[in-house]
Every structure is written in structure tokens, then in C-alpha cells.
Amino acid sequence: MTLCVSEGSRGKYLNSKMLRAESIYHKHLFLEGKQLNLEIYDPCSQPQKAKFSLTSELHWADGFVIVYDISDRSSFAFAKALIYRIREPQTSHCKRAVESAVLLVGNKQDLCHVREVDWTEGHRLALENRCQFCELSAAEQSLEVEMMFTRIIRDILKNLKLKEKRRYSGSKSMAKLINNVFGKRRKSV
């Protein structure tokens, strides 16, 4: 299962995902004193074609939760391919000022007696691709699932703050540049 989490209330992004808008789950919540409007989309619940392409989500989602089954190696391979897709230079660095938050989750920890993917493999994949990582059992640890969502939302908020800061310092240096050029010219007149 792959999940895209986006901080909502930004209508302009809605057009690009209109086709799938009816399958987006909306959730309002209060975190760190802020009212958040989340838009959550699960491509794996979609027909085959949408399930395997993350094309539009790569542009609108602020964060991704990628879940694999620790008792199924093929699901880990799929998770790996998705992470590589998200971290591809043309989709991550060029179009975004700040990298998307990605949380890799090894699910079905209760099935560790039939484990096919080691904790270290998941951890290494996450580390090498600048993702957060955890293992849990959705069937037995509802609190951990909740904490997992809180974790990715916190990361998204941190990234949004960073983006805002960069935008602010960018416009400040632009103002300085304009001032330098036109300010000096005015003095010499």
C-alpha cells in the first residue's frame, strides 16, 4: 500500500488531480496548535494503471507513506521501486525546493516468524534514500499506526516551514538586488 499525504486547503493543486479527486480521503485534524486539512490518497486502491504510476502524486503530495509486508519480499521490491521513483532527480530536486517527506513502513510485524525482509534491509533502504523508517503491525498496534501518521505529518510541516523560509529569504535577496541596482542609479542622478 502506498499513501500520499498532502496538506490541503491549496485549491490550485486540486485541478491537477481532479481525475482522482473522488478517491481522496479528507481529514481535518488539530496538531501543534494548527488546524490541518489533510488529503490522503491510496493509489493501491485504484485500478491497475493508477496503482503503478505515481506521476501526478509526485507533483502534489507533500509526503509519502510507503508500506510493504515484511513477510513478502516482492512487496519490498515494489516499495524500493517507488522510493527510487520519488527520489529520482528530475522529480525531486529540480521541481521542489525541499524534498518530500517519505516514511517507509514494514507492516505485519506480528508475522515475524515468516519474515522475508530483515529489519536492517528496510532500515538501510530508508537511510540511503533519506526516508524515515519503522516496522509495525497494523493488525495489532493501532497506536503505532496513529504515531506513524503523526510522524509523517510533523515531517511535512517541518518541510513546509523550511520552504516558506527559503521563499522569504529568496524574495528578500531579490529586494536587496533591486535596491542595489535602482538605489545606486537614483543616487547618481
Ligand X SMILES: Nc1nc2c(ncn2[C@@H]2O[C@H](COP(=O)(O)OP(=O)(O)OP(=O)(O)O)[C@@H](O)[C@H]2O)c(=O)[nH]1
Greatest Cα pair distance in the chain: 82
Shortest distance (Å) from residue 53 CB to ligand X: 15
**Which class for 189: exposed (0-12), middle (13-18), buried (19 or more C-beta within 10 A)?**
exposed
- Stretch 134-153 residues interacting with ligand X (CB under 6 A): 137-139
Q: Which residues on adjacent β-strands are paired with residue 25?
A: 40
Is residue 112 a contact residue for ligand X (CB under 6 A)? no
Closest residue to ligand X using C-beta atoms: 1
User: Which residue in the set 14, 19, 29, 44 belongs to the binding site for ligand X (CB under 6 A)?
Assistant: 44
Question: Which one, 67 or 157, has the nearer CB to ligand X?
Answer: 67
| Cα–Cα distance measured from residue 31 to residue 147, given in angstroms and rounded to the nearest whole number | 12
Task: Give the start-end residues of each E strand in the chain.
Answer: 2-7, 24-31, 34-41, 63-69, 101-107, 132-135
Question: Which one, 1 or 160, has the nearer CB to ligand X?
Answer: 1
The piece of 81-89, 103-111, 112-120, 169-177 that touches ligand X (CB under 6 A) is 103-111
